[in-house]
């Protein structure tokens, strides 16, 4: 008979890292909404660009159809990011349970967020408008939160928590 697994209490740093990750994911939703609002404000220009690209290949396509496609794309992007955020919440939950694979996955995601925020800080791909400004600011805050969470997951007490328990 196999004895039941004894759950180990998570260190304070890991609990704090989980809270930072949850906050980062919440800020990510703010960034998503602001980005969609900023892009929605440019939907006519985006539709025109797409129409110019496809009109030669498909003569029957109208600008009104392409504008309808743009709305569908916005909805699909929002749904995709909501599903991805839900999956990230599940990974953060596993992080709090001491799963090393969750720590590795979130470390990679944290690096991705920090590099993206560096691009925002230096103005790469800068857009105009209040929604774009909110999205950029949210991206930077999200990266700071994620960077702090990653740091906390590699401190000595956290490191021991993520190692498998002795047999």
Residue 6: what pLDDT? 52
Task: State how far the Cα of 19 lies from the Cα of 61, in Å rounded to an integer.
Answer: 48
User: What is the chain's mean pLDDT, rounded?
Assistant: 87
- pLDDT tens digits, residue range 50-62? 888 877 787 787 8
3-state helix, strand, coil in the chain (%, to 5): 75, 0, 25
pTM for this prediction: 0.82
Average pLDDT over residues 75-103: 95
Boundaries of every domain in the chain: 12-162
Q: Provide the pLDDT confidence category of residue 2 given band limits of 50, 70 and 90.
A: very low
């Amino acid at each position: 008979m196999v004895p039941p697994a004894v759950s180990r209490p998570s260190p304070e740093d890991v609990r704090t890292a989980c809270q930072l990750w949850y906050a980062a994911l919440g800020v990510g939703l703010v960034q998503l909404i602001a980005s969609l609002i900023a892009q929605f404000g440019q939907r006519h220009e985006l539709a025109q660009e797409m129409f110019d690209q496809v009109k030669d290949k498909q003569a029957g396509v109208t600008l009104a159809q392409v504008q309808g496609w743009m709305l569908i794309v916005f909805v699909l992007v929002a749904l995709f990011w909501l599903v991805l955020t839900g999956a990230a919440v599940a990974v953060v939950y596993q992080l709090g349970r001491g799963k090393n694979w969750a720590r590795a996955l979130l470390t990679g995601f944290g690096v991705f967020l920090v590099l993206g925020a560096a691009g925002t800080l230096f103005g790469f791909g800068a857009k105009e408008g209040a929604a774009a400004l909110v999205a950029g600011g949210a991206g930077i805050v999200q990266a700071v939160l994620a960077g702090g969470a990653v740091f906390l997951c590699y401190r000595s007490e956290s490191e021991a928590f993520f190692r498998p328990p002795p047999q």
